[in-house]
């Protein structure tokens, strides 16, 4: 049975898996202790649960549990990585390299660093959204301390060649951070194989709860220098003070364990549904362009532009399908996304773009409904469009 509205915006957030909710519930009421309470069983039980979750998260990304630091999500992890590394060893002429297509959780801390005198190089992607590794190499300087490039883009789903970038940064002693919020749990991630020093992840993009995430920090000697964002009780090895969000951490751990168990078959299932969606749209419409590389891409992402449309009317017509458009619809004149602009999509086409994010609950019936809904809407809008006569 098809139930409306249909949620196809899993890059924004995901529903919490009922198995995750079940794992979390006891930690609100029965096992409510503070893991920092070292003198009684309430504290010990919470501490053990946190340790188990830390291992579950570490196992999903091939890390050691001691390398996992819990935060409030990927925004905090990104800020901690970028700002923490850049401010840990105040030096003049500090230099950071990132990309123009990063999430604002990386771009905005970089902008703030620039106001404080740090120099930041912004590398542009190719037209398929992927970076030219040679461009990253050209952006490096003797004073470069950190490179931050996301594993998977949240709008167009493209996967960046992180291991190739690590092959440039590692021998030069430059730290490599990756925002893997969209990739973890969806495609295999192994921090060792990627060669990254820091990695951000968040629970609510992988069927876990909101407000909990982690920063992986590679263990090395001497310890990687990172300044915490705030001071306090020195939790999480001094990197993130504040009483641990035990139910959230347990939820993140459970979500990670489920993703690990189900990753390969689920990626195949969702990837086939995504291909069915694209094929269905193309069978009914011409002028459908996929934004971003079709190959190096998350299995659950589809970002397409429709020729011959005024974009604003697209989302209005999709009243029972939750997707995102290629423009911020908060303003009267929507600003096209910085990612679509960076890969050279003209503003008009960016406004006529949709991002589909499939997920664990997505069914074939939902995909078929969305194909019909979107293709009939686009056909109708094209007939109404003032440009229709010219087509």
Ligand X SMILES: *Cc1c(COP(=O)(O)O)cnc(C)c1O
- List residues near ligand X by CB under 6 A: 73-75, 78, 103, 105, 150, 154, 179, 181-182, 202, 204-205, 213
- Residue of this chain nearest to ligand X (CB atom): 73
Residue 329 designated active-site: yes
Dihedral sign for Cα 248, 250, 251, 256, please.
positive
Question: Could you tell me the two tokens for 212?
Answer: 């909990």
d(CA 382, CA 391): 9
Nearer to ligand X, 160 or 375 (CB): 160
- Shortest spacing between CB 370 and ligand X, in angstroms: 21
- Shortest spacing between CB 93 and ligand X, in angstroms: 28
Nearer to ligand X, 144 or 148 (CB): 148
d(CA 49, CA 262): 22
CB 146 within 8 A of CB 177: yes
- Shortest spacing between CB 136 and ligand X, in angstroms: 18
- Shortest spacing between CB 19 and ligand X, in angstroms: 20
Nearer to ligand X, 239 or 381 (CB): 239
Question: Taking Cα atoms as reference points, which of 180, 189, 176 lies closest to residue 218?
Answer: 176
Nearer to ligand X, 105 or 249 (CB): 105
Nearer to ligand X, 97 or 371 (CB): 97
Question: Sheet holding 144-148: strands in order across?
Answer: 68-71, 213-217, 198-202, 175-179, 144-148, 95-99, 119-123
Nearer to ligand X, 75 or 144 (CB): 75
DSSP 278-346: HHHHHHH-SSEEE-S-SSSB-TTEEEEEETT--THHHHHH-TTEE-EESEETTSSSPEEPHHHHHTT--
Q: Please classify residue 137 by burial: count the beta carbons closer than 10 Å to its beta carbon, then call 0-12 exposed, 13-18 middle and 19+ buried.
A: middle
Q: Kindly name the residue from 207, 220, 259, 329 that is annotated as catalytic.
A: 329
Angle between the N-to-C axes of helices 246-284 and 41-61, in degrees from 0 to 180, rounded to the nearest 10: 30
Strands in the chain per DSSP E: 6-7, 68-71, 95-99, 119-123, 144-148, 175-179, 198-202, 213-217, 288-290, 301-306, 321-322, 324-325, 327-328, 335-336, 353-357
- Shortest spacing between CB 201 and ligand X, in angstroms: 9
- Shortest spacing between CB 73 and ligand X, in angstroms: 3
Active site members: 329
């Amino acid at each position: 049975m098809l139930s409306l509205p249909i949620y196809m915006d899993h890059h924004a957030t995901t529903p919490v898996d009922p198995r995750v909710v079940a794992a979390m519930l006891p930690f609100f009421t029965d096992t409510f202790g503070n893991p920092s309470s070292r003198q009684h069983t309430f504290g010990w039980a919470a501490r053990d649960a946190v340790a188990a979750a830390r291992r579950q998260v570490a196992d999903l990304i091939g890390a050691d549990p001691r390398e996992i630091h819990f935060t409030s999500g990927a925004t905090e992890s990104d800020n901690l990585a970028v700002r923490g590394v850049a401010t840990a060893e105040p030096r003049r002429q500090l230099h950071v390299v990132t990309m123009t297509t990063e999430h604002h959780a990386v771009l905005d801390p970089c902008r703030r660093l620039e106001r404080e005198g740090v120099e930041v190089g912004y590398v542009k992607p190719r037209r398929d959204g992927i970076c030219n590794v040679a461009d990253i190499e050209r952006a490096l300087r003797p004073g470069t301390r950190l490179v931050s490039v996301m594993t998977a883009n949240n709008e167009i789903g493209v996967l960046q060649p992180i291991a190739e970038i690590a092959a440039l940064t590692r021998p030069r002693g430059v730290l490599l951070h990756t925002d893997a919020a969209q990739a973890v749990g969806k495609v295999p991630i192994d921090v060792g194989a990627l060669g990254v020093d820091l990695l951000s992840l968040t629970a609510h993009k992988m069927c876990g709860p909101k407000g909990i995430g982690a920063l992986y920090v590679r263990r090395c000697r001497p310890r990687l220098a990172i300044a915490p964002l705030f001071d306090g009780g020195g939790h999480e090895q001094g990197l993130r003070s504040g009483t641990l969000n035990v139910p959230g951490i347990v939820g993140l751990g459970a979500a990670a364990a489920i993703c690990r168990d189900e990753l390969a078959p689920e990626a195949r299932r969702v990837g086939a549904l995504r291909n069915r969606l694209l094929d269905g749209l193309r069978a009914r419409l011409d002028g459908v362009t996929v934004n971003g590389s079709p190959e190096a891409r998350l299995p659950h992402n589809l970002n397409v532009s429709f020729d011959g449309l005024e974009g604003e009317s697209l989302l209005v017509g999709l009243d029972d399908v939750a997707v995102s458009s290629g423009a911020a619809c908060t303003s009267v004149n929507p600003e096209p996304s910085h990612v679509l602009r960076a890969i050279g999509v003209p503003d008009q086409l960016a406004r006529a773009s949709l991002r589909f994010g499939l997920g664990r609950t997505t069914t074939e019936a939902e995909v078929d409904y969305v194909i019909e809904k979107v293709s009939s809407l686009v056909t109708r809008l094209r007939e109404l469009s003032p440009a229709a006569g010219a087509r």
